[in-house]
Amino acid sequence: MKILIAADMEGITGVTNWDQVDPNHSEYARFRRLMTHDINAAIRGAGDAGADNILVTDGHDRGTNILIEELDPRAHLICGDFSPLAMIQGIDQGVNGVIFVGYHARAGSQNGILDHTWSSRRVANLWLNDILVGEYGLNGAVAGHFGIPVLMLTGDQTACAQASELLGNIETVVVKTALSRMAAECLPPPVTQDLIQNAAKRAVKGLINGQAPKPFTVTVPVQVTIDFNTSEQADQAAIFPGSRRLDGRRLTITADDMLAAYLAFQAAVALVSL
């Protein structure tokens, strides 16, 4: 039983502002430790349930946030960048289920801590076909491309609600209740770690018992539509081969499958300056 824990940082216990997830800020050292502890709780739960092979992927910023020296030794860590599967690197390595830890609401959400989709200064909205998605949906669809279900997500109440609406009957752990974009009522780490451990145990047990949610699959070919923050950014991305400009800020790309769509999305966004 092989589980991938794909981690981001904005939805980690206690995180409410950008300083806390910025490697150049003094607050960051505390929150990368808390990130590691949230992940360790998920590893314990997955391990308790019978996962004997656990991969952790560090998906925030440059992928160098998790403290390997404090990571539960049952897991292997995929870290650093660039890797083609980015936030969900490892999904093609014979994984049976995915757990998202530290995820956040999609760009433009109300009461979502640090809500954004991939790049807060570049992407205003992202659609897969006609489905408005955040990173939970984008990465969840890549998992679905490989036939793998998302089992669980941790983050604030809005991230959990958006993921449940799209991905079905997954386990969710609300580690904080967002009161705005940068304020939340936060549960303390010992409490969230218990919640995460128990949810991960239930999630992996459910998978073992054949009760996992269905993989999230999008119909192919996949229409990736990006609404950039500015018309200038859409101008820059419009050199992407085969893309079609819809209006001032929106560009659309048709991809043969979800893996190609993921790579095209990353490439189009990489063309854009801040």
Catalytic residues: 116
Q: In the range 85-144, which residues lie near Zn ion by CB under 5 A? A: 135
| 131-132/123-128 β-pairing | antiparallel
User: Cβ of residue 9: shortest distance to Zn ion, in angstroms?
Assistant: 7
Residue facing Zn ion at closest CB distance:
8
| Binding piece for Zn ion, criterion CB under 5 A, among 8-16, 92-100, 180-188, 260-268 | 8-16
User: Cβ of residue 208: shortest distance to Zn ion, in angstroms?
Assistant: 29
Residue 135 or 171 with smaller CB distance to Zn ion: 135
Lateral strand order in the sheet of 97-101? 75-78, 53-58, 2-7, 97-101, 150-156, 171-178, 184-186
Residue 14 or 47 with smaller CB distance to Zn ion: 14
Is 8 a residue that touches Zn ion (CB under 5 A)?
A: yes
- C-alpha 269/C-alpha 173 separation (Å) is 30
Residue 49 or 196 with smaller CB distance to Zn ion: 196
Question: By C-alpha distance, which of 110, 113, 97 is closest to 13?
Answer: 113
CB contact at 8 A, 8 and 163: no
Q: Which pair of structure tokens corresponds to residue 115? A: 């809500």
Give the ranges where 23-63 is alpha helix by DSSP (H).
28-49
| 3-state secondary structure at position 187 | coil
User: Cβ of residue 207: shortest distance to Zn ion, in angstroms?
Assistant: 24
Residue 119 or 252 with smaller CB distance to Zn ion: 119
- Binding residues for Zn ion, per CB under 5 A? 8, 135
